Amino acid sequence: MKTSLAPLVLAACACTAGSAVATAAEVVGNPKAAVAKVEMCIGCHGIQGGYKTAFPEVYRVPMIGGQSAKYLESALKAYRKGDRKHPSMVNIAKSLSDQDIADVAAYYSQQTVATR
């Protein structure tokens, strides 16, 4: 009896691809793990009163506390990829892993006006 390996190979590939997708989707932010990671953010995003930075141009730094985690993750990944262009944020985002981004987003999304 002649057996083809093609169905077996396809099944193995499908299982491997499925587990890779599941692993990527399992990144869950931990706000407690972000405490040490947000130190670089606080210098600009933690200043009350509408802080403006002068590098690379005068730019109003947004307060990110209370933003949705999904938005913050999307923004940080866009900086890391180069789709958003602010030089400081690009370099910071490039230093972050997907887990770091999820943690930072979870941390800032749980803030309220009183805790910013």
- The domain that holds 46 is classified in CATH as 1.10.760.10
Dump pLDDT digits (tens) for 57-103.
777 888 899 999 999 999 999 999 999 999 999 999 999 999 999 99
For residue 29 the two structure tokens come to: 């932010």
Residue 52 three-state SS: strand
Domain region containing 98: 28-115
Q: Name the domain count of the chain.
A: 1
Alpha-carbon torsion 63, 65, 71, 73, what sign? Answer: positive
Query: Which one-letter DSSP state was computed for residue 87?
Result: H
Question: Once rounded to an integer, what is the mean pLDDT over residues 38-54?
Answer: 80
Decide: pTM greater than 0.85. no
Alpha-carbon distances of 76 from 12, 25, 72, rounded to whole Å: 34, 17, 6
Is residue 17 situated within a structural domain? no
Alpha-carbon distances of 53 from 36, 62, 110, rounded to whole Å: 23, 11, 25
